[in-house]
Structure 1
């Protein structure tokens, strides 16, 4: 029996399955909801950062205005977008990741899960 968990399992004839070009198929039967939520939160927070340039545009537009109301609105909206968009996206991504993993786990019980194919590149 193999002692190294990261090494390819051996065939019965003693040869190794780690042959270049060998394809193996595995099934993804369950996703941990918390890890899916954390990954999704990080990804969505990164997408929320895409709104930072728009917040800067609003801020500079407010500074360029001669109207005090436009200045306050531009700076307030710009800061709000830059601060809250990534945070809001992360929170919603975390919740969506948990719900998505739960739905996948329920569906995988009926279908057997996703079939993934891997190929060794040695």
Structure 2
């Protein structure tokens, strides 16, 4: 009886271990992806005319770090793949970031500014 119980427990432990290790998804590894090195290593991106493309890539990198922190691994992995693709092909990144619409740029800058919650109107006293 003890042998049967011990064998059942060992089999249960082994199957649970195999199940959890087989199904465990590796966390998104932004640091291991060496995104900053990929961005900084491209001479095209070091040109002053391409500062916005570099800022955009670094903003995406920061977003991937946030996704990683909040355990959104699939989204983080996807964003890391996008950053790698854009950093590997700087001409495409520069071409895609070439929107010069000033109103759109102003709207984006305004959207980036934190907004304070609307102040509540003071309650009026009934007369």
Q: Normalised by the size of structure 2, how large is the TM-score?
A: 0.30
Q: Normalised by the size of structure 1, how large is the TM-score?
A: 0.31
Structure with more of its chain in strand, by fraction? 1
